[in-house]
Structure 1
Amino acid sequence: MNPLLVFVGGGLGALLRYAAGRAALLAGWAPPLATLGVNIVGCFAMGLLAGWFAHRGGPASVKIFLVTGLLGGFTTFSAFGLDTLTLYQRGAIGQALAYIAASIVISLLAVAAGFALMR
């Protein structure tokens, strides 16, 4: 059942990301700003949902659908934000900083490497 929840939620999240991106572009936003907006909204939603489930609980199936599926499809940056916050809250500040640096630097290098390989 969980894979189906992730699948459906992820599909809906991807559609929402597409719609939000299109709306931002139609409003005249440059592509990086559209992506930034989606990432900020996704991270805020991730914080709301993570806080809700951490402090109020709820069915695991709803959490899987919304957090892993919907927000995972909407933006994986929200998962990065939650992972970083989790490390910080556990007191692993050095690991959180290393994760931030590695995620940004290595991800950018990976994009550049993939792009270069396709030349």
Structure 2
Amino acid sequence: MTTSESVSVLRVSLSSRPVGYLVGYQGGRNVMVFDESFRGDPDRPTLTLSSHPTSPRATSVLGSPWPAIRVALNDTLAKARERWPDMLEESPMLTEQKARLRHHWRKLLPEFRIG
């Protein structure tokens, strides 16, 4: 028997520079997944001393459980792409609010675009 758990994903950036993704599971577990470009940049901003590029622990601190998250994230995005456009049409939101939301969806990175 398989169970599914919903997740919420927040893209994290510092001064428009991608840092990674904060993933919140329905059960209360939170995971920070660092972007490859952030982990590999020796000039990245220091979030904690253990994540500083010269720290011997930096690799383990910034390590990524991305394969485990990718399955849930892709499933959630597929459901959003399937459901949200119709839900938006049926929503009591004002036309201007709907237009702003569609505009926001178009500005997302391609892998996160909804409609």
Normalising by structure 2, we get a TM-score of 0.33
More relative contact order in 1 or in 2 (CA 8 Å, sep 6+)? 1
Normalising by structure 1, we get a TM-score of 0.33
The structure that has the greater radius of gyration is 2
